[in-house]
Chain A
Amino acid sequence: MHKLGRGHRDKVQQFMAITGSSEKAAVQALKASDWHLEGAFDIFYSQPHIRTVTDSRHLEELYNRYKDPYVDMILVDGITLLCNDLQVDPQDIVMLVVSWHMKAATMCEFSRQEFIGGLQYLGIDTIEKFRDKLSYMRSELKDEQKFREIYNFAFGWAKEKGQKSLALDTAIGMWQLLFAERHWPLVDHWCQFLQVRHNKAISRDTWSQLLEFAKTVDLQLSNYDEEGAWPYLIDEFVEYLTENGIVQRHQN
């Protein structure tokens, strides 16, 4: 450790605190990522041997702590307890990231497979390790690629079982949550527009294309192509913005 410079030493400590790994593994990962913390995390977690680090007995115990007494699943009460243990608000977006890692099918419930499998993947077998992992998971939201995956995952996760579309209120809630992490100035106008003009459920296509819209189209909408393949709802949103003078469009 003393062979490293101060900055590097700090990083190693940080890494170890977050991942719960050994110093050796920390240094290895950081060296491999050229001393970038996030890159190091990626490398560390993508190593397959991590999975054997978890103790399956502990995982069972953990699961049983939160599982519903009548059904072999973790339901709302269990999740509330979990969040408590994690010292995290149940509405906190990090729970979405957790669900994403677990490939949870629906919000507010985890199946045994989802919970245990997810934790194994993350290399977590105790609440302490879980807690430690949270800041890493929060950081994942800053990654473009991962954010997109989480965003698209959220649609299937947040909608009701058996439904093909996402209820408008739920969708708006999710958007508020998600776009707090990745700022999009037009999100409020979008939500308002939907409530005023659309007032119906949101399709998967609209959901996923909205992110593309937020990412690629500038705030003056100058690079918006109305002949393009955007879903019709987004076309209507652009009309709404122009009609109401929220955006002055200069046609290209």
Chain B
Amino acid sequence: MGKIVDLEEGLELVQKGITKLTNILEGRAEPSFITDECMMLYTTIFNIASRNHPQDHSQLLYDKYRELLEDYLTSEALPALSEKHDEVMLLELVHRWKNYKVMVRWLTHFFFYINRYYIPRRSLTPLAEVGLNCFRQLVYQVLKDKVRDAVISLINRERDGEQVDKTLLKNVLNIFVEIGSGKTHYYETDFEAHMLRETSTYYSQKASIWIVEDSCPDYMFKAEECLKREKDRALHYLHEISEPKLLQKVEDELLSPYTNQLLENETSGCHVLIRDNKVDDLSRMCRLFCKIASGMNLISEIIKQQVTAELTVLMKQAEDAASNKKPEKKDEIGLQELVLVRSVIELNAKYLAFSNDCFQNNSPLRKPLKQIFEVFCNKGFSGNSCVELLATFCDHTLKKGATKNSSEAVEETIEKTKDSSYGDITSLSQTVKLLAYVNDIDLFAEIHRQKLARRLLFNRSAHDDYERSMLKKLKQQFGWQVTWKMEGMVTDMTLAREIQSSFEEYLKSNRQENPGTDLSVTVLTTRFWPGYKSHDLNLPSELIKCVQAFKIFYETTYRRKLTWLYSLGSCIINAKFGERTIELIVTTHQAAVLMLFNSADRLGYSEIKSQLAMTDDEVTRLLHSLSCARYKILNKEPNSQSISRTDYFEFNSEFTEAMKRIKIPPPPVDERNKVIQDVDKGREYAIDAAIVRIMKNRKVIVYQQLVGECMEHLNHVFKPDIKAIKKRIEALITREYLERDQKNPSIFRYLA
């Protein structure tokens, strides 16, 4: 009977201990535990449990532990909770939970012995878990709905703008998690699911109001705000797994159902925002709809339509302008066309910027934009090809300001554009972006090169830096093959200036070599420059002296052979018309013609031709420029508008002109055919080089693969024609670079 007494005694001690603990937790006046008391409780339990006794006290103790907790909850916690509601209840709950955890901790300490041996031996639920289960059964399951509703109500109040106790909410929701031993099962089922439903309801209502009242940008602004706030909410007191689900619900209510309505809104939708360049709103639109596939597709579509519409307007304007052109000016690219070209370039730049801002990398707009602008890029307008238009635009942009001799009246708007175009680097990079859609970039490069040559040689380039900047952009986009010659040309000009300086120095120190006429020579490196024909020409003696003087200087200093291109030269001639002397700026060829009249008053066509040793075509055009054009320096007999071989010419001493120096326009030159020839030849070389490179690499290759790789190699510069590739393959077979396989003629072999 001593054992039973011991057991009862022991249990009484434990009960006392628990009561003490309870009092402490309840804040009743009670001194705290001292170490001895704790030890005593622990030992008591130890004694009870370790006795060898027919009755298994451990089980008793185990059950007792549970009993104690249940008692505590039913007598203290539950009553306190059930009489409270809403926020107050939540506070109480948090408090109770906190206390309860302490209780469990202490009890577990006291009952430690059985936790250590008995429970593992019998594979029973550990004490801490028992504690958790008690709370869950007695408190949590009873109150969870009330708690949930209270929390959600607080959330909604916060949504409506009230300040709520975030820490409280966090603590409450933590209980949902802790009650599941850290797993989120109870949290999700008992709280989150409802919370999400409530969220949907809440936002569904808001959306239906806002969609009626607000413009698209305003609505989007609100939507973004909501999403931001929900994100904060999730951060502050929800469990992290709720964030994505929560945001999804918001999107589902605010954005998905109204996608079309918002984007296609007549007065404030996507196309209006584009039209009015509202970049911020568009960016927001893209941020909001980036996860909604139908939204992004719609935005893409709207942008495409907008671009196509704007481009179509421009193209139509161009066609109208073209049909209004005077027939003799039909092939010229005038300022009106350049204005339109600029608009197209800017249009592309604007939408590329949109594309990058809104969609960033992998923009779904890149390909459609390319397709839309390809209409322009492959057709051009008003009878001019796109590459010509763009090359002319670049030429215009890179030229110096209006020349002194353009005395045509120009409309104000065109003047403004003209002035603002010069040296405008932005225009140039925008041009390069548009050029990216062009197939035949080598054709553009060749025309650009021709025009660059004219700018450089006739000193019309605004600045070397602009030229280099443009070439750099082209090189970055298309590779060095497209620009290396042009870079050489620009460098040549610098070198030529140095050579000219040394020539002038040389003349100063060798006065006897001075030819008597001021001479300036530009020395070009042949392989960089377009191929100019060097016409034979009988120069007047003054010019012959000049040529000789320079030749001696150059060939002794630099030891290279020079070929003279008189067709590119110019002269300033003092012409005496009666009392007045006017300076005429003419080409060397024109000068040669005029100088003939120093020693003869009247000359016939054939005399002029034979004295100069030129072709009929050249003579005709020269004489026309001097006698039938704007400034009639020569009188023609008969006085018709065309040159014939029976005409006679005299110096027109009656010629008057207000200005002291005039430029006689040179005969026009059509370089177009030459450009195409040069480009074709360049392409042949390029295809040859590509084929040989591929064959060297592969040694043996099937025809289709050869063609495919060839195209890949060349695509960034031009689109090779299959026929052209076949022709080059054949030529290379003849030149024994490759051969067909004996058995299978579709296979080619490299011949080392």
Binding site for B on A (CB under 8 A): 164-165, 203-206, 208-209, 212, 227-229, 231-232, 235
Interface flags, B721-752, vs A, CB<8A=1, else 0: 00100110111011100001000011010000
Q: How far is the CA of A206 from the CA of B703 in the complex (A)?
A: 15
Q: Are A164 and B704 in contact (CB-based, < 8 A)? A: no
Picked from B703, B734, B745, the residue with its CB within 8 Å of the CB of A165 is B734
Q: Which residues of A contact B748 (CB under 8 A)?
A: 229
Provided the pairs A204-B733, A205-B730 are in contact, do residues A228 and B746 lie with their beta carbons within 8 angstroms?
Answer: yes
Q: How far is the CA of A204 from the CA of B723 in the complex (A)?
A: 18
Q: Are B703 and A232 in contact (CB-based, < 8 A)? A: no
Q: How far is the CA of A203 from the CA of B739 in the complex (A)?
A: 13
Give the secondary structure class of B's interface. Answer: helix
Q: Are B704 and A227 in contact (CB-based, < 8 A)? A: yes
Q: Which residues of A contact B723 (CB under 8 A)?
A: 232, 235
Distance in angstroms from B727 CB to nearest chain A CB is 6
Q: Are A231 and B734 in contact (CB-based, < 8 A)? A: no
Distance in angstroms from B48 CB to nearest chain A CB is 96
Rank and list the top 3 A-B pairs by shortest CB-CB distance, nearest first.
A229-B703, A232-B726, A229-B746
Q: Which residues of B contact A212 (CB under 8 A)?
A: 745
Q: How far is the CA of A206 from the CA of B729 in the complex (A)?
A: 11
Residue of A nearest to B746 (CB): A229
Provided the pairs A165-B734, A205-B733, A227-B704 are in contact, do residues A232 and B745 lie with their beta carbons within 8 angstroms?
Answer: no
Binding site for A on B (CB under 8 A): 703-704, 723, 726-727, 729-731, 733-735, 740, 745-746, 748
Q: Which residues of B contact A165 (CB under 8 A)?
A: 734
Starting from the known contacts A203-B731, A229-B703, A229-B745, 10 additional A-B residue pairs (CB-CB under 8 Å) come to A165-B734, A203-B730, A205-B729, A206-B730, A208-B740, A229-B740, A231-B726, A231-B730, A232-B723, A232-B726
Q: How far is the CA of A226 from the CA of B566 in the complex (A)?
A: 50
Q: Which residues of A contact B729 (CB under 8 A)?
A: 205
Q: Are A209 and B745 in contact (CB-based, < 8 A)? A: yes
Q: Which residues of B contact A231 (CB under 8 A)?
A: 726, 730
Q: Which residues of B contact A203 (CB under 8 A)?
A: 730-731, 733-734
Q: How far is the CA of A88 from the CA of B349 in the complex (A)?
A: 80
Q: What are 15 pairs between A and B in contact, CB < 8 Å?
A: A164-B734, A164-B735, A165-B734, A205-B730, A205-B733, A206-B730, A208-B740, A227-B704, A228-B703, A229-B703, A229-B704, A229-B748, A232-B730, A235-B723, A235-B726
Residue of A nearest to B723 (CB): A232
Q: Which residues of B contact A235 (CB under 8 A)?
A: 723, 726
Residue of B nearest to A206 (CB): B730
Provided the pairs A229-B745, A232-B727, A235-B726 are in contact, do residues A205 and B734 lie with their beta carbons within 8 angstroms?
Answer: yes
Report which residue of A206, A229, A232 has the largest number of chain B beta carbons within 10 angstroms of its beta carbon: A229
Q: How far is the CA of A94 from the CA of B745 in the complex (A)?
A: 28
Q: Which residues of A contact B726 (CB under 8 A)?
A: 231-232, 235
Distance in angstroms from B702 CB to nearest chain A CB is 8
Q: Which residues of A contact B745 (CB under 8 A)?
A: 209, 212, 229
Q: How far is the CA of A206 from the CA of B733 in the complex (A)?
A: 10
Residue of B nearest to A236 (CB): B723
Residue of B nearest to A213 (CB): B745
Q: How far is the CA of A133 from the CA of B740 in the complex (A)?
A: 34
Distance in angstroms from A209 CB to nearest chain B CB is 6
Q: Are A204 and B734 in contact (CB-based, < 8 A)? A: yes
